[in-house]
A = this chain, B = another copy of it.
């Protein structure tokens, strides 16, 4: 499959086409933003590459040869395709419409995104959003999504990542639970409390205990990998759970538990791929998300 696409320099083709349409190399050079000697050499090189004479140099203005006329149509086709590409590309990069796929954790997708997307709907009606609610680390480079909201910096350096917020997670519990089991006032009061865990639970326990606690795996009567499920368990009084304060304020009937004792750092990273640099529609969504989180 090593078929040569074409045995000549395509820029030389452009040089010939422009010269033929402009009527002179000088005019073509002005049109292309090059100098006349450059055009002259490019046309000469094309003639040599193709093995034909395209222009006769006769004093002042040059005359296209019958051979040149014969080929001109195809050069025009090339030129029209090029112009069409430029036009389409300009449209592609400017249009604020099309699909944008956002991936986020289920909790983020369920509680945070809706109002932002409502706002986006008014801001850019042409954009269609797809939300991939998943705690998996989706690979942006494979275009499984255009934008990801994560709580860790992506390890792929070619991705564009922005730390849009640094929050903290604390203990929360439902008022009904606290009414039944009492409101803990020291770390020791947590020793016989019931907890709602979030997978991977070992890392969660390690993080909490590094804050000065001594929790055991047995205290986590339920563990889920789904943030919405965990939130509902907490809200309905199953036990005490850890969640970023941004989520807690959205769930009615929750009270903070020992808020000064436990504070796990929760960074919010907005991540996208290189196309952000040029795609108008992705940038619109990205900028809106960045503003909404900051």
Q: Does A219 contact B (CB under 8 A)?
A: no
* Count of residues in A whose CB is under 8 Å from the partner chain: 62
Tell me whether A5 and B85 are in contact in the complex, defined as CB-CB below 8 angstroms, given that A13-B10, A52-B278, A92-B70 are known contacts. Answer: no
Q: Using a CB-CB cutoff of 8 Å, which residues 85-112 of chain A contact chain B?
A: 85-86, 88-90, 92-93
Question: Are the CB atoms of B13 and A31 closer together than 8 Å?
Answer: no
Tell me whether A6 and B86 are in contact in the complex, defined as CB-CB below 8 angstroms, given that A75-B81, A141-B59 are known contacts. Answer: yes
Contact among B2, B56, B273 for A274, CB-based, below 8 A: B56
Chain B residues with CB under 8 Å of A204's CB are none
The smallest C-beta distance from A27 to any residue of chain B, in angstroms, reads 8
CA distance A86 to B51 in the complex (A): 10
Most chain B beta-carbon contacts within 10 A, residue among A50, A75, A84, A86: A86
Q: Using a CB-CB cutoff of 8 Å, which residues 46-100 of chain A contact chain B?
A: 47, 50-53, 56-59, 63, 65, 67, 70-71, 74-75, 77-86, 88-90, 92-93
Chain B residues with CB under 8 Å of A67's CB are 89, 92-93, 275, 279
Chain B residues with CB under 8 Å of A3's CB are 31
Question: Are the CB atoms of B2 and A56 closer together than 8 Å?
Answer: no
Q: Does A293 contact B (CB under 8 A)?
A: no
Tell me whether A5 and B83 are in contact in the complex, defined as CB-CB below 8 angstroms, given that A70-B92, A93-B52 are known contacts. Answer: yes
The smallest C-beta distance from A201 to any residue of chain B, in angstroms, reads 33
Nearest neighbor of A274 in chain B, beta-carbon distance: B53
Question: Are the CB atoms of B51 and A71 closer together than 8 Å?
Answer: no
CA distance A8 to B83 in the complex (A): 9
Q: Using a CB-CB cutoff of 8 Å, which residues 144-165 of chain A contact chain B?
A: 158
Oligomer: number of copies? 2
Chain B residues with CB under 8 Å of A175's CB are none
Q: Does A292 contact B (CB under 8 A)?
A: no
Chain B residues with CB under 8 Å of A273's CB are 56
Q: Does A9 contact B (CB under 8 A)?
A: yes
Question: Are the CB atoms of B278 and A93 closer together than 8 Å?
Answer: no
Contact among B85, B139, B142 for A6, CB-based, below 8 A: B85
CA distance A51 to B282 in the complex (A): 13
Q: Does A196 contact B (CB under 8 A)?
A: no
Chain B residues with CB under 8 Å of A32's CB are 4-5
Most chain B beta-carbon contacts within 10 A, residue among A67, A70, A81: A81
Question: Are the CB atoms of B53 and A30 closer together than 8 Å?
Answer: no
CA distance A56 to B158 in the complex (A): 10
Pairs across A and B, CB under 8 Å, 29 listed: A2-B30, A4-B32, A5-B17, A5-B82, A6-B79, A8-B85, A10-B11, A10-B78, A10-B82, A50-B86, A51-B90, A52-B89, A52-B92, A53-B275, A56-B141, A56-B143, A56-B273, A57-B158, A63-B142, A63-B143, A65-B143, A67-B92, A67-B275, A71-B88, A71-B92, A74-B85, A75-B85, A77-B81, A81-B81
